[in-house]
């Protein structure tokens, strides 16, 4: 069995990072570390040594472009591929597949899980020599397409937090 590829996901939206982490790890191909504060991204990358970084463009404490520059300026991280995820460009403007920002591929939010998995597969360097081939990701059920959209509540019947008090 092959070793899981390591992905660092930097995004200030904690719900989105958890959802993406769970979905990527469910494939059995990836180990995902989440960092919700952009200013900690370089430190987290140095410690974790990811094979790939998923990076939000707009974050409150540091811009994703600045984080990408920090990664590329670091001798240990300069060759780690980066994929931007952004809500600043509408899916209608670029389609499902996304385009390139500053030489980095990007995917507009919200995005389908298969689009993210496809871009990760394209962006990751080949597995180290001697590693077993990676298993194919499990197929999605035909009636349920994975969409990572933090604006859509996961359970529309759930009561708002303030209504969850015992009565």
Q: Report domain extents, the chain.
A: 5-163
Exposed/middle/buried for residue 142 (C-beta within 10 Å: 0-12, 13-18, 19+): exposed
Q: Which residue has the tokens 């958890």?
A: 18
7: nearest Cα among 52, 45, 44, 49: 52
CATH T-level assignment (fold) for domain 5-163: Rossmann fold (3.40.50)
Whether pTM exceeds 0.85: no
pLDDT at 106: 87
Q: What is the pLDDT of residues 44-77, one digit of tens each?
A: 999 999 999 999 999 988 989 999 999 999 999 9
pLDDT at 130: 56
Query: Mean pLDDT across the stretch 9-19?
Result: 95
Q: Is 12:59 a contact under the CB 8 Å cutoff?
A: yes
The strand ranges marked E within the chain are: 5-10, 30-35, 52-56, 82-86, 99-101, 104-108, 111-112, 147-148
pLDDT at 89: 61
CA distances from 85 to 56, 137, 167 (A): 5, 21, 41
Who wins on pLDDT, 126 or 115? 115
CB atoms within 10 A of CB 104: 18
pLDDT at 127: 72
Record the tokens describing residue 123, joined without a space. 């962006």
pLDDT at 79: 95
How far apart, in whole angstroms, are the C-alpha atoms of residue 163 and residue 167?
A: 9
pLDDT at 111: 86
pLDDT at 3: 87
Q: Give me the percent of the chain exceeding a pLDDT of 70.
A: 67
**Secondary structure of 96-121 in HEC code, one letter for each residue:** CCCEEECCEEEEECCEEHHHHHHHHH
User: Average pLDDT, whole number, for the chain?
Assistant: 79
Q: What is the pLDDT of residues 145-159, one digit of tens each?
A: 455 554 444 444 444
């Amino acid at each position: 069995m092959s070793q899981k590829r390591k992905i660092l996901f930097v995004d200030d939206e904690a719900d989105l990072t958890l959802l993406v982490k769970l979905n990527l790890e469910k494939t059995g191909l990836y180990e995902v570390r989440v960092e919700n504060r952009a200013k900690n991204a370089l430190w987290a990358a140095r410690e974790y040594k990811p094979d790939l970084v998923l990076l939000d463009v707009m974050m409150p404490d540091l811009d994703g472009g600045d984080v990408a520059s920090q990664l590329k300026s670091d001798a240990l991280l300069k060759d780690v591929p980066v994929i931007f995820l952004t809500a600043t460009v509408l899916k209608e403007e670029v389609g499902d597949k996304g385009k390139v920002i500053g030489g980095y591929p990007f995917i507009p939010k919200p995005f389908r899980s298969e689009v993210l998995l496809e871009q990760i597969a394209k962006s990751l360097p080949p597995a180290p020599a001697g590693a077993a081939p990676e298993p194919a990701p499990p197929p999605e059920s035909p009636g349920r397409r994975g969409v990572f959209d933090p604006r859509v509540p996961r359970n529309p019947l759930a009561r708002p937090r303030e209504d969850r008090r015992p009565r």
